[in-house]
Amino acid sequence: MIHELLLGISGHPSPLLSSSGKAEDTNGLLQSVLSPAEKALLHTLTQDLGEKNKKIRTNASAISSSHPSPVCRAVSNAIVSTHLASFQRRILEVEKDILEQHASIVGAYNIVSLSSIVGAFDGWGRKLEWLWRLIQFIQAPGPKTYSRSGQPYNGPSTAAELMEHLRDSTHTGYPDIEQIVLNLLKVAETAWLKQISTWVLYGRYPTAGTADFFITQKSVNLNGLSSFNEYGIQYSFVPHFVTKDTAQSILFIGKALNHIRERQHVLTNDSSKTSAQDLTLLPTHLAHLSSLEFPLSPSRFSAAIGAIRLSLSQNALQKLLPMTKAMEILRLLKDFFLLGNGEFAIALITAADERLTSRTRPEVSNQNLASDLASMTIKEGEVSAVLARTWTALASLQSLDSTYDEVVDDQLDLASELIRLSIKSLNASSIPSWGPTDKLSMASFDDLLLPSSTVLSLRVPSPMDLFLTSSDVDTYSNIHAYLLAIRRAHLRLSKLFLLSVLRRDHPSPKPPTSLNHKDAFGALARIRGKADQRTKNMRPIWTTVGSAAFFLAEVGEYFQGEVVKSSWSTFQSWLLPSLASDMRSINASLMSSIGSGGRSYPSRPNSSRSSQGTAPHSPHDPETLTQAHKAYLAALERELLLGNFNFTTLLRRFMTSIDHLSALMQRLNLTQQRLDWETGTDVPNAASSCAAEEHRLMEDLGTSRKKVAGGVQELIDALRAIDATPIGGRPRNGKNANMEHDGFVPWAGGGLDCLLLKFDYGNTEKLAMR
């Protein structure tokens, strides 16, 4: 009986304990002859120990063979090989004590009581119960997260969830449970650290077990000809002891090593080889990781990753990503995406308008001008032709202007090579972001340049993607569409003043030559009366056009002249010390190679001083540049009011009203010219149809004018509401400590009162509503 009982505790079925081999079955041979107290003791041994032992072993084996997480598989293997093995050794020790008739378990007359056997396994019921709950936690679906494919993830627990659960379990209050938890936590963190080491030490993405690896990889096709891997962070898979900055550093280190290996592959045509500099740094980086103790401390782990990042930045990356190349890309983004180059914006708008004009039929009716453009289909080739025509116009402008230098010409060549204008894909908005960034609550402005939604994108060359991510390019594209829409609407209103027939009656009209002298004076009086009536009817429309143009001019000047210019100046002043230091290093190497008889290359004086103080700066490593650049973009979005849903929605509606008003006035200009010609040639039927169309257009213009005037007033009210926001909710004057990164504090404006003062001084609202 004791032998069968020990077999049952070991997880083997026994007919003496149950007829079916299960502990909960009470029809075993022994069940009928035992007292209630003995049945309770037997239940403790068979179910609390034996059945739990069997369940844990079976389910742990299933986890080890099928679970997608290598960390969870390592923990399940440790449960079986360490803790269940320890329980099995305890069973053998109890059996040995019984055979040797040890007094702790064998009583008088060699009687072995059930209570003494239960006492021999004191504490193991609690241990097995906790291990069984841990197995259930690993197998149970975790909270809703997102996998690398972007689909909902409701599978078993991830490595991050398991390690967090183990850390929380160290505070159960039982020392024996704490020892088991610490052992399993060490196993889990060791397996996770091995997975991280492949990425941090060699820059290689793991080939297996990446289901819950927080570094994500996706292949991006480039023009259908080639592809490259883009890496990001899935923050739901990041363990809690890893801070956000540390996770970004891990991503940066692996990407940098990956770039170095790819560069070595280009030079040697062998991607398996590792550069000598990498082999030199490898022992140092490995020592930082080997010095870590378990359980991992957040501060020590962050310090080790920071030391590896600093070592890599100060050695291998100085030549891989010089600051001069980074500044070249940043200036390109500032000039072409933030419209620092005004000629590019004008040329792009002109090329798009010419494309639409060539596609529009002049005989189309004016019943619904907005729907006519919206229903127009633009092909990808036409969109590319618009940008190609823009580059041609800019090149022609450079050839005519002697003030353009070679640097500007090189920048234009680089821009034409990297910048693309394409139709926005329909599923672009469904792609999940790599990081936990908040999406901008803004209306869409990408369908104003052309009827189809278009996006101006940048192909980020290697190794510039060390600091410039795809989400950054998307942000630049959104800002570009926003600023370009304002510039385009202002140009449309300004061009309306070129419609001289609508704006004035000059020179003085002449009477028809077919009439005699007496009738000619009557005809001339009718013509002048009609011209006076048209001028009177158009006066409120021109007032609204003028006020709307003034509003857009001032808003555009504020965004371009103050927000973009000041933000870039602040960011550039932070970058220039590093650029000067980089230039001095290049000059020193050139002078050493030329020798004493070569030309002298003087460095820029006093440019190595920080904008925050007087201490000289060391060159910024790519990750520091990345974080500062993200802070610069975030501040730029905030100051451009892109996060204000009410303002952007009203502005988008205002743009549509301007397009409709502009189309109506251009149509009215053509109609009045045709009406005057047909009246002068005595064609009564045609003149009557033109007069009816003129009347209909004037009614539509009156309705459209009210929408534009109301839009101006609503936008000014929205700006006043934004300016009235408490300063605590809108950081100003650069005093935002949360956005400071290694000494860089992005620019923050002082409010909108100066802009609103211009509107109040110009009586924009009153003029618009007249």
End-to-end CA distance of the chain: 105
pLDDT digits (tens, 9 = 90+) for 416-462: 999 999 988 754 433 333 333 344 446 789 889 988 889 999 988 87
Average pLDDT of the residues of the chain? 78
More confident: 278 or 671: 671
pLDDT at 335 over 90: yes
Question: What mean pLDDT is predicted for residues 39-51?
Answer: 80
Tens digit of each residue's pLDDT (9 = 90 or more) over 577-618: 655 455 455 455 544 544 444 333 333 333 333 433 333 344
Model pLDDT for residues 231-269, shown as the tens digit of each residue? 888 988 999 999 988 998 899 899 888 888 777 665 555
Window from 18-32, 57-71, 116-130 with minimum mean pLDDT: 18-32
pLDDT in tens, 174-224: 999 999 999 999 999 999 999 999 999 988 888 887 888 999 888 766 544
The predicted pLDDT at position 692 comes to 83
Pick from 6, 4, 37: nearest CA to 18? 4
Residue 56 burial (C-beta neighbours within 10 Å; 0-12, 13-18, 19+):
buried
Residue whose token pair is 């997608």: 68
- The whole-number pLDDT of residue 609 equals 34
So what's the pLDDT on residue 681? Answer: 55
Mean pLDDT to the nearest integer, 35-56? 82
Distance CA 96, CA 82 (A): 21
What pLDDT band is residue 718 in, cutting at 50, 70 and 90? very high
Give the residue-averaged pLDDT of 168-174. 89
Q: Average pLDDT, stretch 681-701?
A: 73
- Which token pair is 71? 């960390």
DSSP secondary structure code for residue 389 in this structure: H
| Minimum mean pLDDT range among 94-98, 151-155, 197-201, 487-491 | 151-155
| Mean local confidence (pLDDT), 673-685 | 64
Return the structure tokens found at 169. 């379990």
Give the pLDDT score at 770: 55
pLDDT given for residue 461 in this prediction:
82
Model pLDDT, residue 102 = 82
Q: Which amino acid is at 56?
A: I
Task: Write the DSSP assignment of 623-644 as a string of letters.
Answer: HHHHHHHHHHHHHHHHHTTTT-
